[in-house]
Amino acid sequence: MITKYVFFLSLLICCNGNQQSDKRIQIKEPVCDTGTMKNFYYEFSPLTDIPAIKNLENDFVIVTGTSLTGTDFISKEENQYRRSLKEYQTVEDELKSIEAYRVQEDTLYEHDSIFLTLSREEQIKQLQVWRDGCKYIVDSIHQANNNGLQIVWLINNSSDTVRIATTDSHLLIIIEAIDIKGKWRPVEFHYLDHHGFVYRRLPPKKATAFISTSSINGNFNTKLRYKLLGFKKYYYSNEFDGSIDYCQFEKNPKYSHAFFTRHYMMFDSIIGYEPQEYFDFISIE
């Protein structure tokens, strides 16, 4: 009797298992008329101290989340305008800057050429106009970046220097999501121009960051993470909840012609590439 019961129980479990297996096999992805994957850039910040985040590993980590927002984030663009604001201190400073540029480049910007033709009084007024303009831009950028937007920290909490792939101003980083079959796939790509990319050195116990202005959203709820190209390896952020348009898993056909295809970077084909140049992250002015 017990043997017969065990036999029927085993048969029932086996059948249920096959039914579940069949259900997994029958999972179908939505059909997309057009792929909507987008080209996206994330501008890194100047070098900064490690933020006060609890339980950081003693390693290089990428930390983010919808509850992690910028409060005093300074982007590379804002930092450049801050530097210009410092340069526009006096007429003498501006004249020295113009002359240094002329010697180095053997040419002048049009606005600098005009500045040299002005009287002393006009130069003082023009300098104030430039300062006011820079100050307005600095304040506008800072306010926009610290208005509750999600921040992503790249933190080197190790004792070694970490090399991170970047273009001139942007990190080689994209968002990945889990698809309906449980597989991680990119929902963004990074278009590289003919200049390619370089590695920047992130020293120990320092950090850089960026504000996530990605337009990743939709009716498919899933897990997301960032994938960063490092030197001969990838780095991944912690996972966080989000939603996507499922067709963001598919390439947008407008990027499918030959020129774009050669530079269509989702990183799987360029790991191990070693440029000849290495740069350091700049510090906040």
What integer is the mean pLDDT of 80-104? 85
* pLDDT attached to residue 237: 94
Reported pTM: 0.75
In degrees, to the nearest 5, what angle opens at C-alpha 225 toward C-alphas 259 and 79? 75
Confidence (pLDDT) at 285:
43
pLDDT at residue 266 is higher than 80: no
In one-letter notation, the amino acid at residue 217 is: N
Contacts of 109 (CB under 8 A, 6+ apart): 101
User: What is the chain's mean pLDDT, rounded?
Assistant: 79
Domain ranges of the chain: 38-73+148-280, 82-144
- Span 74-85, average pLDDT: 86
Give the model confidence (pLDDT) of 172-231 as tens digits.
888 999 999 999 998 888 776 656 678 889 999 999 999 887 767 788 999 999 999 888
Q: Report whether 130 contacts 90 (CB < 8 A).
A: no
- State phi, psi for 149 to the nearest 5 degrees: -80, 150
Amino acid at 111: H
Average pLDDT over residues 235-251: 90
pLDDT by residue (tens digit) across 118-156? 999 999 999 899 889 989 999 999 998 888 888 899 999
